[in-house]
Amino acid sequence: MGLGANYDKRLPEYLIDLHIHAGGSVAPHILYGIAMQQGFKLPTKDYWEFVELITVKPEKVKNLDDYLAIMHQWTEKIQSSPAAMERSIYEIIGKEYRSSRVNQIEIRFNPMKRNLHGERDMDHIIVAALRGMEMACMEYGVRACFIFCLAREFTFEQNQVILDKAIKYQNRGVLGIDLAGPEKMNLELRLNEARRYERLFDRARAAGLKTTVHTGETSHTSGEGVLATLQFLKPHRIGHGIRAAYNDEALKRLADSGVVLEFCPSSNLDTHAIKDLDEMRFILGKFKEAKVPFTINTDGTYLLNTHLQHEATLLMDNDILTPQEVAECFRVAREASFIH
């Protein structure tokens, strides 16, 4: 079987991505086309200026907030229609298969950030996205599902509605929920938030959904936040969680609970959550030593100018992980996948 001319022979035959946002993973020329077709007013009529606008450059982005603002200001708005979502999801799945032989993918997005504050109907957006997923899966022989992101900046009631939608479309392929968005600076506020969302996560699990939470990502967060997440939200997986490397108790609790970390190398570098490759080597070294299971993911392919194959080779080329360790990450990812 042909691997594809540019596929790195050190990698497993197929890859799997557990952490990829729809808002950061559609090629600029596709998004540009969608925007034009729908008469979306862009701040520029020049394609290359548009590309600049929606791509993260480490020198342009100071932190995670800047990074999220790009998604919020442009890509999520352009994706705010049924047709736009159908095309976006369809393109993401095909592209990741072609660039990185990703044959299993869990795409996450917040449907309530794609309905123009209620002007558009959320059910239509979701069903259109599912249609795009089904078409791409059929064409490329890929398995896929959606994870709906609840937002920290939303009200509890808004997030409840998103959970209701996830439960409603569970049998069509919405298999999990996530809690995303910038974490509070203050630890006490972070603990309160974890407590507040406890029963919502209980309800998700009782309904048969899987759960993951963005936490312990940026340098102002901490291992304590990871511990609170484990205690109150009891997620199946954690998005990032890299701050746990600096907290022995968090490392131990992660290893004991078997909660799998979704590690996103380029994302952490570009948002300056991780200083450099040396810090990355230190963090993954801690996880290996403590036997904390972790996986390799893209977070947002085009926003970060990457794909999954590149994420894996980055780690091997810089002697952060051996090819065997990379293969182990993808084995863990298949086991921790919400798709069964």
Binding site for Zn ion (CB under 5 A): 299
Q: What angle do CA 131, 212, 269 make, to 5 degrees?
A: 95
- Please state the closest distance from residue 304 (CB atom) to Zn ion, in A: 11
> Closer CB to Zn ion, residue 81 or residue 266?
266
Spatial separation of the C-alpha atoms in residues 322 and 84, rounded to whole Å: 40
Q: Which is nearer to Zn ion, 35 or 254 (CB)?
A: 254
CA angle 310, 313, 315 (to 5 degrees): 115
Given the complex with Zn ion, which of 96 and 299 has the nearer CB atom?
299
How far is residue 179's CA from residue 149's CA, in Å, rounded to a whole number? 6
CB of 108 vs Zn ion, minimal distance in Å = 7
Helix/strand/coil percent split, the chain, to 5: 55, 15, 30
Q: Which is nearer to Zn ion, 35 or 89 (CB)?
A: 89
Question: In terms of CB distance, is 42 or 151 closer to Zn ion?
Answer: 151
Cβ-closest position to Zn ion? 299
Q: For Zn ion, which is the closer residue by CB, 35 or 92?
A: 92
Query: Taking the CB of residue 39, how many other CB atoms lie within 10 A of it?
Result: 6
Q: How far is the CB of 259 from Zn ion (least distance, A)?
A: 16
Residue 109 CB neighbours (<10 A): 28
Judged by CB, which is closer to Zn ion: 104, or 266?
A: 266
- Shortest distance, position 298 Cβ to Zn ion, whole Å: 9
Beta carbon nearer to Zn ion, 22 or 254:
22
Contact criterion met (CB below 8 Å) for 109 and 149: yes
Min dist. Cβ of residue 139 to Zn ion (A):
26
Token pair for residue 17? 């991505």
* CB of residue 4 to Zn ion, shortest distance in Å: 27
Residue 19 CB, nearest distance to Zn ion (Å)? 6
Residues in contact with 232: Cβ distance below 8 Å, sequence separation at least 6, in sequence order: 194, 195, 197, 198, 201
CA proximity to 315, closest of 5, 93, 14, 10: 10
Q: Which of 266, 233, 340 is nearest to 19 (CA)?
A: 266
Name the minimum Å distance from CB 149 to Zn ion: 8
